[in-house]
Amino acid sequence: MFSINSKATECPPWTKDPSIPECPKSGKLLSEDYPALAFVISDSPAYGDHISDLDKHSTWNYVRDILMHSGDQVPYMILSVSQDTCQMIKEEIRKLTRQNTYQAKRDA
């Protein structure tokens, strides 16, 4: 585990939007479309203590799915991951950003 500076750990400004409900309207369970403000993601292995490539890729797949389905308001993500997994996620996000930039330019 590693630490990052406190500026990077501040919640994004949209999380203070008063239109986002603090609690579900009824009951104690959140509906599938309830807005998530944060996700805690770990690459801890299911078995043993070695983080495999499968653990790294499963973690990235989860992060990617959050990014792809969150629209304009990407939720805050707390990543409790190894340095290797963190580096891989950063590289994959860069690739995804480059692909989306290229696609936007091509579509324009």
Domain that holds residue 77: 36-108
CA distances from 82 to 41, 75, 78, 85, 98 (A): 11, 21, 13, 5, 24
Instruction: Note the pLDDT tens digit of each residue in 37-78.
Output: 678 888 887 666 777 777 888 889 989 998 888 877 777 888
On whether residue 98 sits in a domain, the answer given is yes
Number of domains in the chain: 1
Backbone angles phi, psi at 79, to 5 degrees: -105, 110
Q: Is residue 54 part of a domain?
A: yes
Decide if 108 is inside a domain. yes
Instruction: Please state, for a pLDDT cut of 90, what percent of the chain lies above it.
Output: 9
Whether residue 26 is contained in a domain is answered as: no
- Residue 6 has a pLDDT of 43
What sign for the dihedral angle of Cα 46, 52, 53, 57? positive
Q: Among 93, 97, 69, which residue's Cα sits nearest to residue 79?
A: 93
- In this prediction, residue 24 carries a pLDDT of 62
9 is a domain residue? no
- 61 inside domain: yes
